[in-house]
Amino acid sequence: MGKLINLTKGNRVLYVAAILSIAAATFIAMLEPLIIKITIDSVIGNKPMDVIKPLQKLIMEVGGKEVLITNLWICALSLVTLTCIRGVFLFLSGNFSSRAAENISRTMRVKLYNHIQNLPYEYHVKAESGDLIQRCTSDVETVRKFFATQMVEIGRAFFIVVFAIIMMLSLNKKMTIIAMVIVPIIFIFSYVFFYKIKSTFEKADEQEGVLTTILQENLSGVRVVKAFGRQNFEIEKYEKENKKYRELNFKLVKLESVYWSSSDILCMTQIGLVLVLGIYFAVNGVISLGTLVVFNTYEGMLLWPVRQLGRVLTDMGKMSVSLKRISKILDVPVEREYGKALKSEIKGEISFENVNFEYEKGHAILKDLTFKVARGETVAIVGPTGSGKSSLVHLLLRLYDYNSGSIKIDGVELKDIERKHMRRNVGIVLQEPFLYSRSIKENIKMSKIHSEDIEIYSAASIAAVHNVITSFEKGYDTVVGEKGVTLSGGQRQRVAIARTLVKDMPILIFDDSLSAVDSETDRIIREKLKKRSENSTTFIISHRISTVMDSDKIIVLNHGKIETVGTHETLIKKDGLYKRIWEIQTNIDDIKNDDQVSYE
């Protein structure tokens, strides 16, 4: 209830207006049976009026019983008028609650999206995107539906019970007791049903997240599925999970059918009891015919919200499960800034001193790294797969924080520099670039929204992709499709490089991002980069020796440790990993050249 109240913050006036409107509508609904009672007992019949005093006073003001006898249409008009007024209040109640619910769902979506954007990189590595999507859409919609309908229904049920009991007690206490005898049983039955439905819905909701994840993965990897002919396997996998989801939903349907059928029996028993005993009392003169009609009407009005309590509790159970799943995301701490949070200008001088890093305790990825990089230097990092190359540059972006040691940027400890400030000054091109389903120009402008066209063209030229783009029919306005699917791997890579270069950054990182282009294009890009980025500290991760051989410094990583540091000329003279890689690649190139000569 505390979470529900917190969610209504900013919309409480609307909910108060909705509840007051439903209270007015309920009170008017309670007056309608009294008009019928007066008409039957006192206008058509000869019994004295025994209704609430304000209503009696109103009747006396319009001329009393005699006027009503000669003008029976006044009673009919009164019923129509009350019904119209009740309709207006019901409309207002629905309008206010719907507006409040839409505001709450919009706030929740924005809050979730902002929170997810600021969650640590480590969280996103482990989270399933399909499950996150399901929580941000289906679960938010479940909460919205509850606030739009059931919050007001709870208020309506409360006012109906209170008003009905007051009205019935004023007419006949014995009949009131008879009319309420089974109501507590229905309440208890609804409460038990609530706990049954809650656990089942939670399982169904989680299974829906599994289905969403499978669907999202298959849409993203459709080319892989088709390339390996795995359509039947994927269909079987989806059908298996879909069957589980169907069974859980079918269980929900069975639980609801048991509740509604059982509650129907209880409610009809209650109505039958009132009708049978009411007829007996009316025949024996204990109550009037009009009172019997009023009690039957009130009984129907009273049992409807009590019976609806099952639906309210069902939706409350679903809402509480959805709210719990949403809260699990919101409860994950966002990236926090520690230390002095300096925003000093970054020039690009970097030093690592005895740096150690591990993703999981006891499994070291980087061990005792120590090296220095001067401003404007080009540093290459080479090593076998899993040696920690990408982990090293991830530390510079503060995607992760090192466990021990020291990394300093221009003499300032890295942990004392705000993450956002650091990331604004570090440009990175990943091995697997991600392009949005937008135009090429919009993709390049991502790192600098207000880029001029000349800046975009210059960055694309350095990335050796300008001529390719201009050859397209729509040029820079060409839409690349989801994840850049309409471009080749090398074209996507070069567009990603241009996106990084359009903004001048003091530190540039190329994480094996030139592997998708041919050797000649690789050479052209590196030559242009060297001329353009004389004041930028550049890190190049690559397995291709030709890509790193012109670097000012080459760091060779092996099993998370620095094996050696030096230039290409010095490293090929030393026995070690770098020399072995160079010899292998040189021999391959010689074989290719020999084959080319033989072919010619």
Burial class (CB in 10 A: 0-12, 13-18, 19+), 62: exposed
Q: What is the pLDDT of residue 183?
A: 77
Residue 346's Cβ-side half-sphere holds a number of Cα atoms within 13 Å equal to 29
- Write out the H or E segment, with its range, that includes residue 508: strand 507-511
Other beta carbons within 10 angstroms of residue 67's beta carbon come to: 13
Among 2-11, 351-360, 431-440, 451-460, the minimum mean pLDDT is found in 2-11
Q: Report the alpha-carbon distance of residue 340 to residue 561 in Å, rounded.
A: 30
Q: What is the pLDDT of residue 57?
A: 63
Q: Report the alpha-carbon distance of residue 21 to residue 550 in Å, rounded.
A: 77
Residue of 489 and 70 predicted with greater confidence:
489
User: Which tokens hold the place of 332?
Assistant: 């994950």
pLDDT in tens, 512-571: 777 767 777 778 887 787 777 667 888 888 888 888 888 889 999 988 898 888 888 888
Q: Please report which confidence band the pLDDT of residue 595 belongs to, taking 50, 70 and 90 as the band edges.
A: very low
Which amino acid is present at 235?
I
**337: Cβ contacts below 8 Å, ≥ 6 apart:** 418, 419
Domain 2-330, CATH number (from 1.20.1560.10, 3.40.710.10, 3.50.4.10, 3.40.50.300): 1.20.1560.10
Which amino acid is present at 428?
I
Q: What is the pLDDT of residue 88?
A: 94
Stretch 202-225: mean pLDDT:
77
| Whether residue 472 has pLDDT greater than 50 | yes
Helices marked H in 463-599: 466-470, 489-501, 519-532, 545-548, 568-571, 577-599
Q: Which residue ranges does the chain devote to CATH 3.40.50.300? A: 350-574
Q: Which residue ranges does the chain devote to CATH 1.20.1560.10? A: 2-330
Residue 136 DSSP class: I
Asked if residue 247 lies in contact with residue 276, where contact means CB atoms within 8 angstroms, the answer is no
- First-to-last CA distance in the chain? 81
Q: What is the pLDDT of residue 599?
A: 30
| Whether residue 91 has pLDDT greater than 90 | yes
Q: Please report which confidence band the pLDDT of residue 62 belongs to, taking 50, 70 and 90 as the band edges.
A: low
| Whether residue 309 has pLDDT greater than 80 | no
- Phi then psi for residue 404, to 5 deg, are -155, 170
Residue pointed to by tokens 């059908």: 239
Q: Please report which confidence band the pLDDT of residue 400 belongs to, taking 50, 70 and 90 as the band edges.
A: confident
Q: Report the alpha-carbon distance of residue 382 to residue 298 in Å, rounded.
A: 83
The CA-atom distances, in angstroms, between 540 and each of 198, 285, 427, 506, 553 are 53, 100, 12, 14, 10
Query: Vertex 337, ends 335 and 338: CA angle to 5°?
Result: 130
Asked if residue 543 lies in contact with residue 382, where contact means CB atoms within 8 angstroms, the answer is yes
Q: What is the pLDDT of residue 596?
A: 41
Query: Vertex 194, ends 191 and 199: CA angle to 5°?
Result: 145
Among 357-361, 484-488, 553-557, the minimum mean pLDDT is found in 484-488
Stretch 76-81: mean pLDDT:
83
Q: Report the alpha-carbon distance of residue 521 to residue 532 in Å, rounded.
A: 16
| Whether residue 437 has pLDDT greater than 70 | yes
pLDDT in tens, 21-37: 988 998 888 888 877 77
Which amino acid is present at 524?
I
Q: Please report which confidence band the pLDDT of residue 252 belongs to, taking 50, 70 and 90 as the band edges.
A: confident
Q: What is the pTM of this model?
A: 0.70
User: Which tokens hold the place of 566?
Assistant: 């030096």
Q: What is the pLDDT of residue 92?
A: 93
Percent of the chain clearing pLDDT 70 (strictly above): 89
- Parallel/antiparallel/unpaired status of strands 537-541 and 378-382: parallel
Task: Indicate the CATH number for domain 350-574.
Answer: 3.40.50.300
3-class DSSP state of 19: helix
